[in-house]
A and B are shown apart, each in its own frame.
Chain A
Amino acid sequence: MPRKASLGADLVIPVLALGFAVYFFWSIADLGWEAKANGVLIGTVLVVLIAIQLARMGNQLAQGTGDLRADPLWLPRDVLGKRVGMVVIAVAFIAVLEWLGLTLSLLLVMGLALWTMGVRKPGAIAGVSFAVAAAAYLLFIAVLDSAFPHGPVEQLLARLFH
Chain B
Amino acid sequence: MSWEFLAGQFAAQFGLWWLIVPGILLGIVVGILPGFSPQNTLIMLLPLTLALPVDQAFAFMVSLYCANHLAGGIPAILVRIPGSGGAAATTLDGYPMTQKGQAQQALVLSFVASVAGGLITTLTTLALLPWLSQIGLYLRSVEMVVVMLFGLTLIAVIAARDTLKALIAGFFGLLIGVIGTDHIYNAPRATFGFLELYDGVPLVAALIGLFAISEALVMIEEKMIVADEGRARAMRASWADTLEGLRISLRKWWHIVWTSFIGLFIGIVPGAGASIAAFVAYQQSQLWSKHPERYGTGIPEGVIAPEAANNGVTSGTLVPMMALGVPGGTTAAVMMIVLQYHGMVMGPRLFQTDPGLAYGVFVAMAVAYIFMVFTILPLARYMARIVLIETTYLAPIIILVTIVAAFSERQYLFDMGLALVFGVIGYIAHKTNYHVTAMLIGIILGPLFEQYLVRSLRLSEGDIMILFSSTIGNVLWGLLVLSLVLPPARAYLKRLRTANA
Residues in A lying within 8 Å of B, measured CB to CB: 9-10, 12-14, 16-17, 20-21, 23-24, 27-28, 31-35, 37-39, 42-43, 45-46, 49-50, 52-53, 56, 72-73, 76, 79, 82-83, 86-87, 89-91, 93-94, 97-98, 102, 106, 109-110, 113-114, 116-119, 124, 128, 132, 136, 139-140, 144-149
B176 close to A (CB within 8 Å): yes
Instruction: Report Cα–Cα, A90/B246, bound state, in Å.
Output: 40
**Residue with the greatest number of chain B CB neighbours at <10 A, chosen from A37, A56, A90, A149:** A90
Main secondary structure of the interface of A (DSSP, over half): helix
Q: Which residues of chain B are within 8 angstroms of A37 by Cβ–Cβ distance?
A: 453-454, 457
- Neighbour of A35 across the interface among B168, B187, B408, CB < 8 A: B187
Residue of B whose beta carbon sits closest to that of A7: B432
If A16-B172, A90-B400, A144-B45 are given as contacts, then 14 extra A-B residue pairs at C-beta distance below 8 Å, sorted by A number, are A12-B428, A13-B165, A13-B168, A13-B428, A20-B176, A27-B188, A27-B191, A34-B458, A38-B454, A86-B399, A102-B404, A106-B404, A128-B393, A140-B408
In the assembled complex, the Cα of A114 lies from the Cα of B404 at a distance in Å of: 17
The interface residues of chain B, by DSSP majority, are classed as: helix
Q: How far, in angstroms, from A102 to B408 measured CA to CA in the complex? A: 12
| Across-interface contacts of A98 in B (CB, < 8 A) | 413
- Asked if A12 and B41 sit within 8 Å, CB to CB, the answer is no
* B457 with A146: CB separation less than 8 A: no
> In this assembly, does B424 line the interface, its C-beta being within 8 Å of a C-beta of chain A?
yes
- Asked whether, in the complex, the Cβ of A86 is within 8 Å of the Cβ of B164, the reply is no
Q: Which residues of A contact B462 (CB under 8 A)?
A: 33
Binds A, one of B106-114, B132-140, B213-221, B254-262: B213-221
Cα–Cα, bound, A63→B88 (Å): 39
Does any Cβ of A come within 8 Å of B407's Cβ? yes
Least Cβ–Cβ distance between B162 and chain A, in angstroms: 11
A79 → B minimal CB distance (Å): 5
Q: How large is the interface on B (under 10, 10 to 19, 20 to 34, 35 or more residues)?
A: 35 or more
Whether the pair B392, A34 counts as a contact (CB closer than 8 A) is no
A147-B404 in contact (CB<8A): no
Query: Considering only CB atoms, which chain A residue lies closest to B217 in the complex?
Result: A83
- Looking at the assembled complex, report how far the CB atom of B209 sits from the nearest CB atom of chain A, in whole angstroms: 11
Q: Let me know if A42 and B174 touch, CB within 8 A.
A: yes
Q: Which of A12, A20, A91 contacts B190 (CB 8 A)?
A: A20
Within 8 A of A (CB), among B142-191: 164-165, 167-169, 171-172, 174-176, 178, 182-185, 187-191
